[in-house]
Structure 1
Amino acid sequence: MNKREYTLNEFILEAAEDPNENDFFELEKPALLEVNLKNQKIMAKAGSMVAYIGNIDFKREGMMSKGLGGLLKKAISGEGTSLMYATGTGKLYLADEGKKVKIIKLKNEAIFVNGNDVLALEESIQNEIKMLKSVAGMMSGGLFQVKLSGSGYIAITTHGEPILLKVTPGQPVFTDPNATVAWSENLTPKIKTNLTFGSFIGRGSGESFQLEFMGEGWVLVQPYEEVKYAAKA
């Protein structure tokens, strides 16, 4: 077995971007999305740009209001999850606090995603944002879900490697709202409270309730409770 020398050349080769990758959305590294723009426009989470090569312009859209059709005035963080438009030609690199990136190519399909876990989407993707109103008083900012539909690329983020749980008739799945990342279009989560054991579930006082998924479909959860805090002034 050859011993690694950890030379500078070895480091450069290991960390360098792959010039052969040129799909629209590419997973450059587990936590780094590469978007290859060719006179195109995408929407991305504001602040997610870590680098770019070429001629790309950015326009911040405030609070997902215009970028993700008809959004409410308040979102997960307390002030809203902001989006930006990226337009032009070149390579764009996006990341979000070291979270793992998952690329999905929708083909006339739809999924629901936790609003804070949306990293980027093609301009062609249609979207609609809703809120589980019954959760609003229970957790900071409520729980916002984004319905992404149509045909094109989307990129979502997760803390660690997620697991996909199948939901079947007669076998519902219960999840922690702060660990729930995405779910299939045909499922509508309901709130299930557990006042008796609330003190022992999770690590926070707001976790005495769960999301209940019934029917047939799937739910994606991450091994992490992503508690949302109100933004500072």
Structure 2
Amino acid sequence: MQSSLFGFTEVQTEDRFALQNPQLLRVALTGHEDVLARKGAMVAYQGLLEFDAEYVSRQRRQARRHTGEGLDLMRCSGQGTVYLANLAQYVHLVDVDHQGLTVDSAYVLAMDSSLHWEVIAVDSQFGISGTGAYNLSITGSGKVALMTSGQPLMLQVRPDAYVNADADAVVAWSNSLRVQMQAQTSSQSIRRRRGQTGEGWELSFMGEGFALVQPSEQLPPQVADIGQGIRAQYGMGQQGAAGQNQGNIWSNR
């Protein structure tokens, strides 16, 4: 048999985490350390591997109920190689060090089992209930595989150059940064997106570190729903995120 498909063979490497291509992750397991992966992310494996649902403590279950943020993980163990992917998202490897990493759980594909994570809050500068956000703080030493819709942009944040980004486009940032949720609007019009620009909440990053954004936002255009009102504005109708993106990374909260 002959085909150009044979050009897409396995990439030979001794690295534990390695990209087979921009959208497919390969993790080698030797039996000494497990890997935690997004539930259902396994597309293939070789060797003697086992897949089990990761135990979730009572504290994390309570945090998930109150915030909607958390990780649905499976533990991959044994000896062999597992291949992970999710909806052809672009995969990126990050070495977590003493600084730590804050990330939206929707963008986590896999990570070393030695890493620790917990839910943290990012509050609105207005102090208005319901306008803050929750994310995951990942600490320890190890690798995390993140996913983005399209090729991302890594922004360097310095004390003399802070960064603002659309809250729906932000994927992750370093824990060393000070972060605040904000919008150039008044409390009277908090339910209306900023003026007629279509821009809503944003995250402001200050300090020294990095912020990772993707060329895609969680919400579709304001006219995604045929009709009027708040649901049309935020794309929650049949033509919006709720109707068209069933089961993708944005609906796993």
- Counterpart pick for 2:157 among 163, 167, 178: 167
Change (3 A) 1:75 1:87: farther
**Contact 1:68/1:128 (<8 A) preserved:** no
**Mapped partners of 2:62, 2:87: distance in 1:** 24
**Stretch of structure 1 that moved more, 27-36 or 102-111:** 102-111
Asked if structure 2 preserves the Cα contact closer than 8 Å seen for 1:166 and 1:218, the reply is yes
Shift of 1:124: 1.4
Q: Answer yes or no: is 1:217 the counterpart of 2:214.
A: no
Question: Which of residues 83, 88, 91 is equivalent to 1:101?
Answer: 91
1:145 maps to 2:141: no
Partner of 2:178: 188
Confirm or deny: 8 A CA contact 1:52 1:93 kept in the other structure.
yes
The letter of the residue matching 2:146 is: I
Query: In 2, are the aligned partners of 1:177 and 1:211 still within 8 Å (CA)?
Result: yes
How far apart, in 2, do the equivalents of 1:79 and 1:125 lie? 17
- The answer for the alignment partner of 1:15 in structure 2 is 8
Match for 1:54 among 10, 23, 47?
47
What corresponds to 1:33 in structure 2?
Answer: 25
- Shift of residue 172, structure 1, vs aligned partner: 2.0
Match of 1:120? 110
Change over 3 Å in CA distance of 1:193–1:70 after alignment to 2? same
Indicate the structure whose relative CO is greater, using CA pairs within 8 Å and at least 6 residues apart: 1
The answer on whether the counterparts of 1:184 and 1:217 sit within 8 Å (CA) in structure 2 is yes
Q: CA deviation at 1:70?
A: 7.3
Report the secondary structure of 2:3's partner residue: helix
**Shift in Å, 1:208:** 1.9
Distance 2:91 2:66 in 1: 21
SS across alignment from 1:102 = strand
Quickly say closer, same or farther: Cα 1:136–1:38, change in 2 above 3 A: farther
Cα deviation, residue 187, structure 1: 0.9
The structure 2 residue matched to 1:198, chosen from 173, 194, 206, is 194
User: 1:66/1:48 Cα in 2 relative to 1: closer, same or farther (>3 Å)?
Assistant: farther
The gaps in structure 1 that reach 5 residues or longer are 1-6
TM-score normalised to structure 2 length: 0.73
The Cα RMSD (Å) is: 3.0
After superposition, the C-alpha distances for 1:89-133 in whole angstroms (9 at most, x for unaligned) are: 111011111111111223444121121111111111122221335
Cα distance in 2, alignment partners of residues 188 and 95 from structure 1: 32
**Between Structure 1 and Structure 2, how many residues are aligned?**
214
Q: Is the 8 A contact 1:59 1:84 kept in 2?
A: yes
Consecutive unaligned residues in structure 2, runs of 5 or more = 187-192, 220-240, 243-249
In structure 2, what is the Cα distance between the partners aligned to 1:184 and 1:178? 17
Maintained 8 Å contact 1:163/1:221: yes
Deviation at 1:80, TM superposition (A): 5.2
Looking at structure 2, the residues matched to 43 and 67 of structure 1 have their Cα atoms a distance apart, in angstroms, of 19
- Answer yes or no: is 1:82 the counterpart of 2:72: yes
Distance 1:34 1:186 in 2: 30
Q: Which amino acid aligns with 1:166?
A: Q
TM-score by length of 1: 0.79
CA distance in 2, matches of 1:104, 1:79: 21
Greater strand share, 1 or 2?
Answer: 1
